[in-house]
């Protein structure tokens, strides 16, 4: 049962260190799996004739049932913006390696955290794959499963044939050979054997056991590798950013990070190539000290298809349901031109930057005071309304002659209705048909009412993309980055 314990979402942004209370179930899990791993390793050393049938997990997935296809899986984590950037990297990797991308769900905010790449203190690829698996089973169990492809519109990517995708649920129903009520989310608890099957399956997909032909687990991570593609003869070269001497002395860190061409390492001719599933750990990267933490692919000089794809994934729009909800609020409720303020005040590092955040906001508002009054402002913030008093937001609320404030709440009808429409549309499930014995999709569309996904953030971002008086965001917030890019690409006018 511990496998299914939900990791408590923490309010910490990547890449800070996790709380000890968060860590303890993980350590337990890790121990458990290390033990499992140890045993499977032990057995693999003993003569096959004695033990080969004992070590294989009963009902282990049969790779051939996946119709000869090749797939790519990875472990998304942290907040939505990070998950989205990982998703884009996954699309890129899948295209380069000519594999079908298994599209994951959106994970709860910080339900899974990686750690800190610059400090070389991260979960191993196996650990993060296990955490992600456990959290996904929890999402299914609690009826909150929503696919990344439900939220982000990938239809143009797919129709351009630049990449092939399959929904995680469709994939897993084949891979785990789960053909009973998989999607009947709230029924899952009643089927102990089904849960058991999923658990076994998870350890396989996480690369803890099983054979390489079936699944190749990429264990390289940001401590050892920066993935490149067609970047000249740098394959195998040391990355420019190495752990410095101080870090080495203090923390005994001696990692050596190399730049490696992902196609040469995991593509044709490699050991990984023949595996049905290639499973990465985190695919998160970030520019850091004139290098990239994990993936440094910004061009593909000799591959026009990948070049096009890189341009295309720079901006992936939200699903039409989300866009139309955001526009409805902007044009139907706020109506007049407005300013959007995105104020991240509580989460992690942002707690210490209230002054700077509010100063920038106030300066923007002051500049608008020259124009017609009142100024309409849409506010998206993690600071609860009750706490606005005493801050600049409180001042604005009090001065209702000069300012008219708008905001959205989780329980608003618009948010709930949009969540329902997202569930009904089920965009994610439209992707991925593979030759199969039983019809997995048919099972998934069974009539079991799921819970509602949390779509507030995406709608808020869309409203902000429509703010014609301007946008003021929180410095360093990835949410602000997404809004800026939506505004740049004219998401509101499309």
Ligand X SMILES: *[C@@H]1O[C@H](CO)[C@@H](O)[C@H](O)[C@H]1NC(C)=O
Q: How far is the CB of 158 from ligand X (least distance, A)?
A: 14
Letter string b/e over residues 84-115, b meaning 16 or more CB atoms within 10 A of that residue's CB: bbbbbbbbbbbbbbebbbbbbbbbbbbbbbbb
CA distances from residue 222 to 130, 291, 384 in whole angstroms, order as listed: 18, 12, 36
Q: How far is the CB of 396 from ligand X (least distance, A)?
A: 17
For ligand X, the closer CB: 52 or 160: 52
Name the residue among 493, 491, 492 with its Cα closest to residue 316.
491
Task: Give 174-229 as a 3 state SS string.
Answer: HHCCCCCCCCCHHHHHHCHHHHHHHHHHHHHHCCCCCCCCCEEECCCCCCCEEEEC
Minimum Å gap between C-beta 120 and ligand X is 33
Q: Whose Cβ is closer to ligand X: residue 76's or residue 432's?
A: 432
308 sits in which H/E element: helix 304-313
Q: If you search the block for the tokens 């439900």, which residue do you land on?
A: 150
Closer residue to ligand X, CB minimum distance, 62 or 446: 62
Least Å distance, CB 482 to ligand X, is 24
Residues 330 and 486 sit within 8 Å (Cβ to Cβ): no
Residue with tokens 């902000």, as numbered in its chain: 464
Q: Is the Cβ–Cβ distance between 465 and 326 less than 8 Å?
A: yes
CA distances from 239 to 218, 290, 299, 476 (A): 19, 11, 18, 25
Q: How far is the CB of 124 from ligand X (least distance, A)?
A: 30
> Among 428, 411, 167, 465, which residue's Cα sits nearest to residue 319?
428
Question: Rule CB under 6 A: which residues touch ligand X?
Answer: 49, 52-53, 98, 386-387
Length of the chain: 494
Q: Is the Cβ of residue 99 or residue 199 nearer to ligand X in the bound state?
A: 99
Nearest to 370 by CA among 487, 468, 469: 469
Nearer of residues 52 and 336 to ligand X, judged by Cβ = 52
- Smallest distance, ligand X to C-beta of residue 412, A: 21
**Smaller CB separation from ligand X, 71 or 80:** 71
> Closest approach of Cβ 23 to ligand X, in Å?
25
Nearer to ligand X, 336 or 389 (CB): 389
């Amino acid at each position: 049962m511990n496998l299914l314990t939900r990791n408590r979402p923490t309010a910490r942004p990547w890449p800070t260190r996790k709380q000890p209370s968060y860590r303890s179930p993980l350590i337990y899990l890790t121990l458990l799996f290390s033990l499992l791993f140890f045993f499977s390793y032990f057995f693999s050393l003993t003569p096959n004739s004695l033990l080969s049938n004992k070590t294989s997990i009963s009902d282990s997935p049969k790779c051939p049932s996946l119709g000869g296809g090749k797939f790519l899986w990875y472990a998304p984590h942290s907040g939505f913006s990070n998950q989205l950037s990982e998703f884009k990297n996954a699309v890129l990797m899948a295209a380069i390696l000519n594999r079908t991308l298994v599209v994951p769900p959106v994970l709860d905010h910080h339900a899974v955290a990686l750690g800190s790449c610059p400090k070389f203190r991260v979960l191993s690829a196996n650990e993060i794959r296990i955490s992600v698996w456990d959290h996904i089973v929890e999402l299914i169990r609690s009826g909150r499963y929503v696919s990344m492809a439900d939220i982000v519109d990938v239809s143009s990517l797919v129709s351009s044939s630049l990449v092939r995708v399959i929904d995680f649920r469709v994939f897993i129903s084949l891979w785990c050979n789960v053909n009973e009520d998989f999607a009947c989310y709230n029924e899952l608890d009643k089927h102990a054997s089904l849960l058991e099957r999923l658990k076994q399956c998870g350890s396989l997909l996480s690369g803890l056991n099983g054979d390489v032909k079936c699944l190749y687990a990429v264990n390289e991570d940001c401590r050892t590798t920066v993935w490149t593609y067609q970047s000249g003869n740098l394959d195998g070269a040391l990355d420019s950013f190495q752990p410095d001497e101080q870090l080495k002395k203090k923390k005994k860190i001696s990692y050596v990070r190399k730049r490696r061409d992902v196609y040469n390492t995991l593509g044709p001719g490699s050991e990984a190539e023949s595996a049905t599933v290639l499973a990465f750990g985190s695919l998160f990267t970030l520019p850091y000290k004139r290098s990239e933490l994990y993936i440094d692919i910004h061009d593909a000089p000799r591959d026009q298809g990948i070049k096009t794809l890189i341009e295309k994934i720079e901006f992936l729009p939200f699903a039409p349901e989300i866009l139309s909800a955001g526009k409805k609020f902007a044009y139907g409720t706020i109506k007049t031109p407005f300013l959007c303020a995105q104020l991240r005040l509580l989460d992690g590092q942002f707690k210490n930057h209230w002054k700077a955040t509010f100063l920038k906001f106030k300066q923007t508002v002051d500049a608008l005071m020259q124009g017609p009054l009142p100024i309409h402002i849409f506010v998206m913030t993690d600071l609860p309304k009750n706490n606005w008093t005493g801050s600049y937001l409180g001042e604005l609320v009090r001065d209702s002659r000069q300012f008219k404030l708008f905001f959205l709440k989780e329980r608003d009808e618009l948010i709930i209705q949009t969540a329902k429409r997202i569930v009904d549309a089920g965009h994610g499930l439209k992707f991925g048909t593979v030759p199969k014995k039983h019809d997995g999709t048919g099972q998934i569309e069974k009539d079991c009412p799921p819970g509602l996904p949390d779509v507030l953030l995406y709608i808020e971002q869309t409203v902000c993309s429509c703010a014609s008086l301007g946008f003021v965001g929180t410095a360093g917030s990835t949410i602000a980055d997404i809004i800026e890019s939506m505004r740049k690409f004219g998401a509101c006018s499309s």
